[in-house]
Amino acid sequence: MMKDKRVLLTGASSGLGAALAYALAEQGARLALFATNLERLEGVAEKCKELGAEVFVHAGDVAEASDVQAAVQRAVEAWNGIDVVIANAGISMWVRFEEVEDPAVFRRLMDVNYMGVVHAAYAALPYLKDSRGLFVAVSSVQGKVPVPLHSGYVASKHAVQGFCDTLRLELLGTGVDVMVVLPHWLRGTNLRQSALGKDGQALGTTSRRHSSESITIDAASQQIVQSMLKRSRQLVMPWKLKLLTAVYALRPQWAEAVIRRALRKQDLGK
């Protein structure tokens, strides 16, 4: 169980982050919730308190190392250490590369999706070593396979995968475990509405539907917590996507055909 575990969770104000906060609160974890939107963050914290959790919030941007460092220090001062860090904050994109009007969108994706993970690990690592704790990066199956219209997002998630795989090797023998979460499309998030378009701005309402392979954020959060308890090195959701990643490694053309077919179904609303 996660009872009394000291947990720092980024991207906690909505979507999967909020669902994870509730799942951890139900298990009695002590929570430091981090996100940019203070009002939504406080709303999540109130529900966590109703579930019996000890919780505080810290508003900031994971792209800013000083913001993440400040949140870590607050947690350490409050609880004399940290047991688990979940780097969950992220943004997406939905546009063909050739249509992008300003390549600065790629920097923003890397700053949030990749550097946000790096900042969390850098700030918390000394305390995770003390507690022989767990570092969790919520990535995407797109950190293993490419998906059209997501070039910057895919690149950032590949960076996360490479960073975490290397960090895990460097930490062998320290007692610190590194876990990477690789979900497919998630239902119940605003990731698509906040995805960046060709002008670098959020797309807002989109007509694209989730595929039949998508999973709910509640189901995803429960799977993540269970994998955290096992201190797994990787969680792919749904499990059958492990096959796609394996096929891509061995026969990339076959996997790409599957991906293109899935995107066509979404465009047709099937």
Q: Is residue 263 part of a domain?
A: no
Residue 123's domain comprises 6-241
Q: Are 196 and 112 in contact (CB under 8 A)?
A: no
Q: Is residue 254 part of a domain?
A: no
Residue 5 identity = K
Q: Is residue 246 part of a domain?
A: no
Q: Are 42 and 50 in contact (CB under 8 A)?
A: no
What pLDDT does 257 receive? 86
Q: Are 17 and 9 in contact (CB under 8 A)?
A: yes
Q: Is 127 a catalytic residue?
A: no
Q: Would you say the pTM of this structure is higher than 0.85?
A: yes
- Going by C-beta distance under 8 Å and a sequence separation of 6 or more, which residues neighbour residue 133? 82, 83, 84, 85, 127, 175, 176, 177
Question: Tens-digit pLDDT profile for the chain (270 aa)?
Answer: 899 999 999 999 999 999 999 999 999 999 999 999 999 999 999 999 999 999 999 999 999 999 999 999 999 999 999 999 999 999 999 899 999 999 999 999 999 999 999 999 999 999 999 999 999 999 999 999 989 999 999 999 999 999 999 999 999 999 999 999 999 878 756 666 667 777 777 776 554 554 555 789 999 999 999 999 999 999 999 887 888 888 888 888 888 887 888 776 655 443
Q: What is the DSSP string of 70-116?
A: HHHHHHHHHHSS-SEEEE-----B-S-GGG-S-THHHHHHIIIIIHH
Q: Within 10 A of 41 (CB to CB), how many other CB atoms are there? A: 22
Q: Is 11 left (phi over 0), alpha (psi -120 to 50) or beta?
A: left
Q: Which uninterrupted H or E stretch holds 152?
A: helix 151-170
Reference 151, options 118, 182, 105; nearest CA is 105
Q: Is 20 buried (19+), middle (13-18) or exposed (0-12) by CB count in 10 A?
A: buried
Beta bridge partners of 137: 87, 180
Q: Which uninterrupted H or E stretch holds 169?
A: helix 151-170
Q: Which of 22, 114, 153, 248 is catalytic?
A: 153
Q: Is residue 77 part of a domain?
A: yes
Q: Which uninterrupted H or E stretch holds 186?
A: strand 186-187
Q: Is residue 265 part of a domain?
A: no
In CATH, what number is assigned to the domain containing residue 139? Answer: 3.40.50.720
* Tokens of residue 182, six digits: 């690789």
Q: Are 61 and 36 in contact (CB under 8 A)?
A: yes
Q: Is residue 256 part of a domain?
A: no
Residue 146 identity = P
What pLDDT does 245 receive? 86
Q: Is 267 buried (19+), middle (13-18) or exposed (0-12) by CB count in 10 A?
A: exposed
Q: Is residue 247 part of a domain?
A: no
Q: How many domains does the chain have?
A: 1
